[in-house]
Amino acid sequence: MSADPTDSTNGNDVSGIRETTYKQAATREEVPATEMNQTAATSVEAETVIMNRSNAETITGGRVVMERSGAKSIETSSTQMDQSGVVSLGSDNAVLLRSRAVQVVADEARLNRSRALIVSTKNAEIENSQIVLFNGRASGDVTTLFTPVTAAIAGAGFGFVLVIFGALLRAVFGRD
């Protein structure tokens, strides 16, 4: 385990990081874990990271479990987020429950009552979630904002606005 804990208000060390054990969901096998509770850390590297009401700049590890926590960058094999947020998530398996993400790149992803700006995945299960830009296969409650026809119409409308705006600029400034 490697963690760089800092208090976000004055830069002092904080004691909300400890070594513990975590029971894996599938096998119920206990594995060593790094637990963060109401702590801010710059960098966390561990095989298993458990976060509760904490935040971190970067997290690298095998498995991350987050509850009411946030991170700037996560690179793991497995990530489970509940009421949490992340800017960039790279994971083999990602589960977002009532969470927010800017970018999710995963082999398998499940989003339930979550929001994401960009999701790129081989397979995704979507339930009551909102995604702006999606790449991959999705199942579940999927509603598209743009179909090929609506995208073509939006593109034509945007092009028309640019042509009119350009003509107005030429008329005002007298350039041909």
Question: Would you state the structure tokens that stand for residue 10, as one six-digit string?
Answer: 């004055």
Residue 54: other Cβ atoms inside 10 A: 26
Give the DSSP per-residue string, 74-117: EEEEEEEEES-EEEEEEEEEEEEES-EEEEEEEEEEEEES-EEE
Per-residue model confidence as pLDDT tens digits over 147-165: 778 888 999 999 999 999 9
Confidence of residue 22 (pLDDT cuts 50, 70, 90): confident
Buried b (16+ CB within 10 A) or exposed e, 9-42: eeeeeeebbeeeebeeeeeeeeeebbbbeebbbe
Please give the radius of gyration of the chain, using alpha carbons only, rounded to the nearest integer: 22
Which of 38, 29, 35 has the alpha carbon at shortest distance from 7?
Answer: 38
Task: Give the mean model confidence (pLDDT) for residues 67-79.
Answer: 95
Task: Give the mean model confidence (pLDDT) for residues 67-82.
Answer: 96
Task: Please count the CA atoms within 13 angstroms of the CA of 27 that sit on its side-chain side.
Answer: 5
Calculate the CA dihedral of residues 15, 17, 18, 20 and round it to 10 degrees: 150
Question: Would you state the structure tokens that stand for residue 22, as one six-digit string?
Answer: 């975590």
Question: Would you state the structure tokens that stand for residue 98, as one six-digit string?
Answer: 């009532």
- % of residues, the chain, pLDDT over 90: 56
Instruction: Find all residues with CB under 8 Å of 173, minimum gap 6, and list them.
Output: none
Q: Are 128 and 113 in contact (CB under 8 A)?
A: yes
Show me where the domains of the chain are located.
2-143, 146-176
Question: Does 101 have pLDDT greater than 50?
Answer: yes
Q: What is the pLDDT of residue 10?
A: 37
Q: What is the pLDDT of residue 175?
A: 63
Per-residue model confidence as pLDDT tens digits over 29-50: 788 888 899 989 999 998 899 9
Q: What is the pLDDT of residue 176?
A: 56
Q: How far apart are CA 97 and CA 84, in angstroms?
A: 8
